[in-house]
Chains A and B, each alone.
Chain A
Amino acid sequence: MSEQEQRAVERELTMSRAMVEAVAHEMREDEEVFYMGEDVADYGGIFDSTEGLLEEFGRDRIMDVPISETAYLGAAVGAAQEGMRPIAELMFVDFFGVAMDQIYNQMAKNTYMSGGAVNVPMVLTAAVGGTYNDAAQHSQTLYGTFAHLPGMKVVVPSTAYDAKGLMHNAIRDDDPVVYLFHKRLMGIGWMPAPDGPKTPVPEEEYTIPFGSADVKREGEDATVVTLGLHVHRALEAADALAEDGIDAEVIDLRTLVPLDTETIHESVAKTGRLVVVDEDYQSYGVTGEIIASVAEDGLADLEAVERVAVPDVPLPYARPMENEVVPDSEDIESAVRSAHDA
């Protein structure tokens, strides 16, 4: 192999490292970007979301803040309205409750209420998801909650490649972006990731536009629409289904707001069968929204619909119960089979 060919054997990164690389790049380029959160400085983020940034940027730009989410998320709103580009981290998305007003009444609405005179170019990052028995207050994704309330763009990466490109875009975006990263995908030593989120990642910067879903696997027989951790569970299900001759297409939404309905509709037009998989609560959420959008524009294409989500219960602690309510690849497999056989 030539030196160039050898170098092209790509470098792979975990999702957390890919996110950090994008943040670091943006911070080097733009003095106005800074990062605030609990345990983001010396600790490097409980889920490695800021690992190594303190050393390069110092405490002025990688700021540990008091456990005062209302104050510091609101301060991010205020600094953003002054034209800075803050990134503020909620350690777990579940804690949004203590600062909800700043998120949904201020951050998300100030642009609209000001008739566009004000804008809020900030990123709110938060860890989401279960699968490690952290129980009801530390395991939610709340994807649908943020996507439901108007005024926030909502990003959910599932691979390192996507995480980096989406983060570049999030920081450069002139609107508030909620960037939800799944703990199980970060590639942290103490919470092993499934195969899949660690991918080749180019060293140079690149953006992935919001509202462009990614077909992670092409297939003819059924469309599985999902996001976050469940992209990987759906891919695993698709591999198992392939052995029985069922060819599933797996669509990774990547952003909930804006939502790429076109990619979904095209796929359903091809397969006729729609399975939506979500790690959020089932009712009034992502699954219903996707199915409604297909029904509105492409009802004639729909031969079968299934949804797989967390039944409407808080996340229980004990393993057998958590495993019961968080969809796994077998749940996805059987939903696809039902849709296929319908």
Chain B
Amino acid sequence: MFEEMATARYYEERLQEEYLEGKQPAFDISAGPIPGELHLAAGQEAAAAGVCRHLRDDDTVTAPHRPHHVAIAKGVDLKRMTAEIFGRESGLSSGKGGHMHLFDPDAGFACSGIIAQGCPPAVGAGLAAKKRNEDSVAVAFLGEGAISQGAFLESLNLAAVQQLPVVFVIEDNDWAISMPKERVTDVADGSRRAGGFDMPGVRVDYDDATAVYDAAKEAVGRARAGNGPTLLEVQVHRRMGHFMGDPESYRPDEDVAAAEQRDSIERLADDLRSEGVEDDELEAIREEARERVDEAIEWAKEQPEPDPDAAYEDVFVNPPSGVTAQEPDHELAGGDD
């Protein structure tokens, strides 16, 4: 876990640097090497790492608009993911998707920029596993803001009534852009939503990666054994703005300070030290993470940009012309014989 978390943190810090290049002193969202919105997940690593540790390649994960830490924990190809974020031809989606729309079928990973809309496809992956008698599971990650969305609540119900192997993971970072949790729901503990569907709901306190690991072990185990879905809520921190460029004027200083103070990575490091892991071992892991990330970013930036005409490809896997070519001749298709 420590490795995935250290990788994800450094990854977000490096992307922040790259993103802000060309956006100073005036912040222009369409300038610089990475254009468009960028939602970074620094402070949320524990949720992704603690859960994905229990997953196999044939398990499916869906993530929301803030996907990098989950993708890293699920083992998405870091180089091709980075190339995608830089809009390059060798990116996961050859530059068509960008940072909110990363797809790596080999790693069982996908994400969506529309709030809570990753939940129904995760239910579908669970449904496929159940129908095929396979023991793979599906995990849907979402923010606490997303738990007021119909797609999430409908998915809980469908997964519960069909006893599907799905785990829903709410990453509660207290904020949905500028809206604090208490303004948009009267239920501070999001895992209580589970009660309405008669499934287990578990909440994990701030920044405790080990506790996430334990809770997820049970939830994933339950799903894999065919005993149905679980809802987990993990309290995390948003250490950066909602998106890069967010002035965060709405956010109290104390809240920013609290996010900076509490650090799940440091906490895990402390836990590991107390178990006898040496400092230089941890530093070696961090160093390796930095090297891997730097290498991915350097590689991505060397990749060519896509050809403009590539925009016309991939709308269908069977392009309309292909379909027409196979259409049977009218006379032959006639029902005379």
Q: Of B50-58, B201-209, B230-238, B303-311, which binds chain A?
A: B303-311
Q: How far is the CA of A190 from the CA of B87 in the complex (A)?
A: 20
Question: Does B47 lie at the interface of the complex (its beta carbon under 8 Å from any beta carbon of A)?
Answer: no
Question: Does B325 lie at the interface of the complex (its beta carbon under 8 Å from any beta carbon of A)?
Answer: no
B36 / chain A contacts, CB cutoff of 8 Å:
132-135, 138, 317
- Which partner residue on chain A sits nearest B91 by CB separation? A318
- Which partner residue on chain A sits nearest B93 by CB separation? A317
From B28, B37, B308, name the one whose CB has the most chain A CB atoms within 10 angstroms: B308
Do A134 and B151 have beta carbons less than 8 Å apart? no
Contact A314 B35, CB 8 Å, known A42-B250, A189-B26, A189-B27: no
Question: Does A192 lie at the interface of the complex (its beta carbon under 8 Å from any beta carbon of B)?
Answer: yes
B153 to chain A, nearest CB (A): 10
Contact A319 B98, CB 8 Å, known A70-B150, A95-B114: no
Do A134 and B37 have beta carbons less than 8 Å apart? yes
A70 / chain B contacts, CB cutoff of 8 Å:
150
Do B183 and A64 have beta carbons less than 8 Å apart? yes
Do B150 and A318 have beta carbons less than 8 Å apart? no
Q: How far is the CA of A314 from the CA of B101 in the complex (A)?
A: 13
- Which partner residue on chain A sits nearest B178 by CB separation? A43
Question: Does B259 lie at the interface of the complex (its beta carbon under 8 Å from any beta carbon of A)?
Answer: no
A325 / chain B contacts, CB cutoff of 8 Å:
311
- Which partner residue on chain A sits nearest B144 by CB separation? A67
A244 to chain B, nearest CB (A): 26
B101 to chain A, nearest CB (A): 6
- 0/1 per residue, A125-136, Cβ < 8 Å to B? 000000111111
B176 / chain A contacts, CB cutoff of 8 Å:
38, 67
Contact A317 B96, CB 8 Å, known A98-B117, A132-B30, A190-B27: yes
A247 to chain B, nearest CB (A): 31
Question: Does B272 lie at the interface of the complex (its beta carbon under 8 Å from any beta carbon of A)?
Answer: no
Question: Considering the complex, which residues of chain B in the window 294-317 have a beta carbon less than 8 Å from any beta carbon of chain A?
Answer: 305-312, 315
* Chain A interface helix/strand/loop/mixed: loop
Do A46 and B177 have beta carbons less than 8 Å apart? yes
Do B315 and A94 have beta carbons less than 8 Å apart? no
Do B95 and A317 have beta carbons less than 8 Å apart? yes
- Which partner residue on chain A sits nearest B35 by CB separation? A133
Do A313 and B315 have beta carbons less than 8 Å apart? yes
Q: How far is the CA of A113 from the CA of B309 in the complex (A)?
A: 46
Question: Does A66 lie at the interface of the complex (its beta carbon under 8 Å from any beta carbon of B)?
Answer: yes
A76 to chain B, nearest CB (A): 16
Do A65 and B30 have beta carbons less than 8 Å apart? no
A311 to chain B, nearest CB (A): 7
Q: How far is the CA of A65 from the CA of B184 in the complex (A)?
A: 6
Q: How far is the CA of A94 from the CA of B97 in the complex (A)?
A: 15
Question: Does B245 lie at the interface of the complex (its beta carbon under 8 Å from any beta carbon of A)?
Answer: yes
- Which partner residue on chain B sits nearest A326 by CB separation? B311
Question: Does B22 lie at the interface of the complex (its beta carbon under 8 Å from any beta carbon of A)?
Answer: no
- Which partner residue on chain B sits nearest A43 by CB separation? B178
Do A137 and B114 have beta carbons less than 8 Å apart? yes
Do A316 and B311 have beta carbons less than 8 Å apart? yes
Question: Does A296 lie at the interface of the complex (its beta carbon under 8 Å from any beta carbon of B)?
Answer: no
Question: Does A191 lie at the interface of the complex (its beta carbon under 8 Å from any beta carbon of B)?
Answer: yes
B208 to chain A, nearest CB (A): 27
- Which partner residue on chain B sits nearest A70 by CB separation? B150
Q: How far is the CA of A43 from the CA of B178 in the complex (A)?
A: 6
Contact A313 B311, CB 8 Å, known A189-B27, A191-B30: yes
Do A320 and B315 have beta carbons less than 8 Å apart? no
Do A321 and B311 have beta carbons less than 8 Å apart? yes
A316 / chain B contacts, CB cutoff of 8 Å:
95-96, 310-311
A112 to chain B, nearest CB (A): 26
A317 / chain B contacts, CB cutoff of 8 Å:
36, 84, 87, 93, 95-98, 101
Q: How far is the CA of A321 from the CA of B35 in the complex (A)?
A: 13
Question: Does A323 lie at the interface of the complex (its beta carbon under 8 Å from any beta carbon of B)?
Answer: yes
Q: How far is the CA of A135 from the CA of B35 in the complex (A)?
A: 10
Question: Considering the complex, which residues of chain A in the window 48-105 have a beta carbon less than 8 Å from any beta carbon of chain B?
Answer: 64-68, 70-71, 94-95, 97-98
Do B308 and A190 have beta carbons less than 8 Å apart? no
Contact A98 B114, CB 8 Å, known A190-B245, A311-B312: yes
Q: How far is the CA of A313 from the CA of B308 in the complex (A)?
A: 13
Contact A318 B306, CB 8 Å, known A43-B178, A66-B185, A131-B30: yes
Q: How far is the CA of A322 from the CA of B36 in the complex (A)?
A: 11
A184 to chain B, nearest CB (A): 9
Leading 3 A-B pairs by shortest Cβ distance: A317-B98, A318-B95, A318-B87
- Since A46-B177, A136-B96, A324-B308 are in contact, a sample of 10 more A-B pairs with Cβ atoms closer than 8 Å, ordered by chain A residue number, is A43-B177, A68-B148, A98-B114, A98-B151, A134-B37, A135-B97, A135-B98, A189-B27, A316-B310, A317-B84
Cβ contacts A to B, 12 pairs, < 8 Å: A39-B178, A67-B146, A68-B148, A97-B114, A98-B149, A132-B35, A133-B87, A134-B98, A191-B29, A320-B95, A321-B96, A321-B306
Interface residues of A (CB under 8 A from B): 38-39, 41-43, 46, 64-68, 70-71, 94-95, 97-98, 131-138, 189-192, 311-314, 316-325
